[in-house]
Structure 1
Amino acid sequence: MARHSSSRRKFIQNSSLAAAGFYIVPRHVLGKGYIAPSDTLNVAGIGAGGKGQGDLAEFFKTKKVNIVALCDVDDRAAATSRNSFPKAGYYKDFREMLEKEKKNIDAVSISTPDNTHANATLAAMQLGKHVYTQKPLTHDIYEARLLTDAAKRYKVVTQMGNQGGSGDGVRRTKEFIDAGLIGDVHTVHAWTNRPVWPQGIATPTGKFDIPKELNWDLWLGPAKYIDYNPAYLPFNWRGWWAFGTGALGDMACHIMDPIYRILPILYPSSVECSVANTWKDMWVEGSFTDSCPPSSIIHLSYPRTDDKGTIKVSWHDGGLLPERPDELLPEEAFGNWDGGVLFIGTKGKLLADCYGDNPRLLPTVKMKETLPPITLPRVPEGHYAQWVNACIAGHGKGVTSSPFEYAGPFTESILIGNLAIRSWMYKNPNLKGWNDKYLGRKTLLWDAKNMRITNFEEANQYVKRERRQGWELSL
């Protein structure tokens, strides 16, 4: 574990543009005025609908990007992007696109269901293409470690799509904490209003015709083959373990980013959780183990990388909230609609909204006192343009806020929370009725070096999932 901590610190320290994990592209790299062809980035989009459609539009908005190829398994989802970029080649299989367009592509934007993030990302990296992959970076823990190692090997510009990582809020939060305004942080709470899609429900049933516009087999990707059901598309896949990562996977990369980016932590040493289920779901055969739960609370214990004890981090979703701090006035907002994060230190507390926005000391009257100066570099161009600029500058010259060297361990850390949830929901097929061998009654101990839970063997099936033939991963 010490090796990983040292590696992360060295990565941060070695960048002359880094300030404790915050990066910005120098203006002189890009020049001014006319954009020469050599300063134009040819981007392909894997996932052209939904969030992918929005991502491509953001890249194109920089006026430094040509969208040269599009890929989507569903023609209906891709329709708007295809109309917006009519000259771009169009494919349903990203593997075919990368093979046929590899000479035309400089970089790839990946915005598919979580299930196929790792396959598409690794394939692009192995061709030497820069990659922007939506959060969470991967579907399982093994994939996150693999893409972290891939970033070291293939030396391309990488960025995970957690836009708050380039925001002013997380930087201002760090300036407050580094100035000692709340002392040494020992406890943090993070929460979200998600899920806003169905979770904690029975597995869909019924026989349906596959729409002619959809390649269902490609949509499934590495997941076990099941019959098509419209309940999963276009958005509700997030609530099913086979394809998504639930509320934690959807929002923790935004809300927990200030925690992971600022505090001296890397991997947790232990995790425990509690999950909201109905009585029937918990105790009767046929419980809803294919679906993520409607709400959960996760407690992670992180050894500090400076060997000064531990930091406790708790996650709350599905409408569950931590205790409201006494220092917050009754009419003052506790985070915002999407969620928030509360840092608790030896000298005080700090509250921020989703993405680390609007950080404020508690009680908020302290914000009228003399505050520390702005010292960290900001990213005025934003998360998308930062990646574009870094790609144009080239690996080792441009920098990004969430390179995989950072985003990989961060994602891995988050997904350990899902491992705990799935272990809580685990039902032993050899037992009649509910299996209470774990059921949240013990703390799971995590061996980060070997990526294993050491005290509940059944949990380790969620570290690395089984993949369908043809969807294996290898560096």
Structure 2
Amino acid sequence: MKKVNRRSFQKTAVAASTAVPLFSIGKPGPSANSRLNVAVIGTGNVAWRAFEGTQNENLVAICDVDSRMFAQHAKRFSAMEKAATFADFRVMLDKLGGEIDMVCISTPDHTHFPATLGAMERGIHTFTQKPLTHNVWQARTLKKAKAHYKVLTNMGNQGHTSNGIRQLKEWYDLGIFGQITEVHSYRDGPKWNGNYFQRPETLPPATDAVPATLDWDLWQGPTGPAPFNKLYHPKKWRGFNRYGGGMFGDWFCHIADAPVWLLDLYEPVCIEAESVEGGNEWMVADGCRVRFDFERRADKAPCTVYWYNGDPKRFSPALPEDWGWGSLPAAGTFFHGTKNNGFTDERSNNPRLSSRDAAIAFKNAGYPAETIPRIEGGPVLELVNAIKGGPEPGSNFDYAAPFTEIMLLGILAVNHGGRIEWDSRNMRITNRPELNQYLKEPVRKGWEYGEELWKS
């Protein structure tokens, strides 16, 4: 197996990414034909994207707290058979950190942060699934870490690499929509008793036997000891506040990606849970409608963004009658502009104007020329190419961290109800100071990361 010099890659890639603007066409650096040494943390379920995106590289290590998960994708990706295996990513990074060029993290939400920062502080380029973190302090810290450790990063909101989101931004930049002043993003769910969400029979959840293949202590990571329940693992954890963020946490980073990117929506001044159904200390809400208010950003008008998830009969935007659509699409985002209104689906793949006549006239006139370079493959491959000298990934942590923060503030409003007035500059809630404790969660000993980045 060919050994790749990680420091030489890092120097070449970071120099290239800072010299080339976002989404510009980058020329391959001197290491473009070399193969990266890749490690994967979390090998089940959505980790197939990590294996697929790095299948032409050297897979040197895989890490999972449940040994049975190693087999889930092994038949499809034979390189897994030759990789070193670990249960604890901290041990893997201590042993092989100097050999690894890139790490892909596909663990439950509550362990994204320690795994990500553990890699970054060793100078390893990092891909992390969405949502980037489980609390606001973690998101801020990863943005600091990107600047401090000077590594390349990307978050796994796949729609950010799509042609559709680029086309939508080209339309917006040309003034097709005028000023966008209101946005509605929505999706149904959670669907309890489905593949990803299930309520326990009792609260607190009953204590079940830990599977022989699972290291339950490692699975809990920074959250600390708690009894095992069979719903937590392997994939129904996201319905529990301790480990996930429900449909809000699962889909906001996909569906709201387009408005956040188009409109530079990074610092809401007010977040209000206008309607919430269900939810408690243990479980995520059944449904919600949350309003985010954004002030003027440079030449962009003030904007209000609404997020909905839950039963579509109670938690979905009203479809304007004059659009003539008949029925509301299953999920997506509506844009209300001063010139035209628009819509795009849940991963921003298929943008369109709301008015049929306007859409036909727009198409007949010829869509504008492409000005934003398109991306081949998804966000994992995008990071691979960036490390080899291409442009910096679009959902790098300078973008992904504040984007994730918006979502986390929305979840905080849902969990505690009412209105939150947000001082982004000082990272504090001004009208309800008792909620500031939830911006940074307690961490058990041995899982502390990032504190030193706040000392300078």
Q: Please tell me the TM-score bracket, short chain as reference.
A: 0.7 to 0.9
Partner of 1:404: 397
The CA distance in 1 between the partners of 2:392 and 2:259, in whole Å, is 21
Identity %: 37
Q: 2:353 aligns with which of 343, 346, 361?
A: 361
Q: Residue 25 of structure 1: CA displacement?
A: 5.0
Is 1:149 aligned to 2:151, yes or no? no
The CA distance in 2 between the partners of 1:107 and 1:330, in whole Å, is 45
Contact 1:44–1:107 (8 Å) recurs in 2: yes
The CA distance in 2 between the partners of 1:28 and 1:208, in whole Å, is 52
Task: State the AA in 1 paired with 2:269.
Answer: S
Task: State the AA in 1 paired with 2:410.
Answer: G
Partner SS for 1:235? helix
Partner of 1:266: 266
Instruction: State how 1:34-45 maps to structure 2 within 5 Å.
Output: 36=33, 39-45=34-40
Q: Residue 133 of structure 1: CA displacement?
A: 0.3
Instruction: State how 1:241-280 maps to structure 2 within 5 Å.
Output: 241-277=241-277
Partner of 2:124: 129
Instruction: Summarize the Cα distance change of 1:82–1:89 in structure 2 as closer, same or farther, 3 Å threshold.
Output: farther
Contact 1:30–1:389 (8 Å) recurs in 2: no
Partner of 1:383: 379
- Superposed CA offset, 1:200-222 (max 9, x none): 77535333221110000110111
Structure 2 unmatched runs, 5+: 1-16
Contact 1:241–1:292 (8 Å) recurs in 2: yes
Instruction: State how 1:62-211 maps to structure 2 within 5 Å.
Output: 63=56, 65-81=57-73, 84=78, 85-196=80-191, 197-198=196-197, 203-211=203-211
The CA distance in 1 between the partners of 2:125 and 2:322, in whole Å, is 46
Task: State the AA in 2 paired with 1:391.
Answer: I
- TM-score (norm. length: structure 2): 0.87
Partner of 1:459: 435
Task: Give the RMSD, CA atoms, in angstroms.
Answer: 2.2
Task: State the AA in 2 paired with 1:222.
Answer: P
The CA distance in 1 between the partners of 2:387 and 2:137, in whole Å, is 27
Contact 1:187–1:345 (8 Å) recurs in 2: yes
Instruction: Summarize the Cα distance change of 1:469–1:232 in structure 2 as closer, same or farther, 3 Å threshold.
Output: same
Instruction: Summarize the Cα distance change of 1:272–1:200 in structure 2 as closer, same or farther, 3 Å threshold.
Output: farther
Instruction: Summarize the Cα distance change of 1:28–1:43 in structure 2 as closer, same or farther, 3 Å threshold.
Output: closer
Please, which moves more after superposition, 360-369 or 406-415?
360-369
The CA distance in 1 between the partners of 2:73 and 2:58, in whole Å, is 13
Partner of 2:54: 60
Instruction: State how 1:279-428 maps to structure 2 within 5 Å.
Output: 288-306=280-298, 309-318=301-310, 319=312, 320-331=315-326, 334-335=328-329, 337=330, 339-369=331-361, 370=365, 371-393=367-389, 398-424=391-417
Partner SS for 1:470? coil
Please, which moves more after superposition, 159-168 or 73-82?
73-82
Please, which moves more after superposition, 358-367 or 404-413?
358-367
The CA distance in 2 between the partners of 1:25 and 1:253, in whole Å, is 25
Q: Residue 264 of structure 1: CA displacement?
A: 3.1
Q: Residue 419 of structure 1: CA displacement?
A: 1.2
Q: Residue 27 of structure 1: CA displacement?
A: 4.7
Partner SS for 1:317? strand
The CA distance in 2 between the partners of 1:221 and 1:229, in whole Å, is 16
Instruction: State how 1:232-243 maps to structure 2 within 5 Å.
Output: 232-243=232-243
Partner SS for 1:221? helix
Task: State the AA in 2 paired with 1:209.
Answer: A
Contact 1:247–1:317 (8 Å) recurs in 2: yes
Q: Residue 399 of structure 1: CA displacement?
A: 1.4
Partner of 1:432: none
The CA distance in 1 between the partners of 2:83 and 2:430, in whole Å, is 49
The CA distance in 1 between the partners of 2:391 and 2:343, in whole Å, is 32
- Superposed CA offset, 1:247-285 (max 9, x none): 11111111111111110332100000144436xx7xxxx
Partner of 1:46: 41
Partner SS for 1:131? strand
Partner SS for 2:142? helix
The CA distance in 1 between the partners of 2:357 and 2:204, in whole Å, is 51
The CA distance in 1 between the partners of 2:377 and 2:112, in whole Å, is 26
Partner of 1:430: none
Contact 1:194–1:317 (8 Å) recurs in 2: yes
The CA distance in 2 between the partners of 1:261 and 1:330, in whole Å, is 26
Number of aligned residue pairs: give it: 421
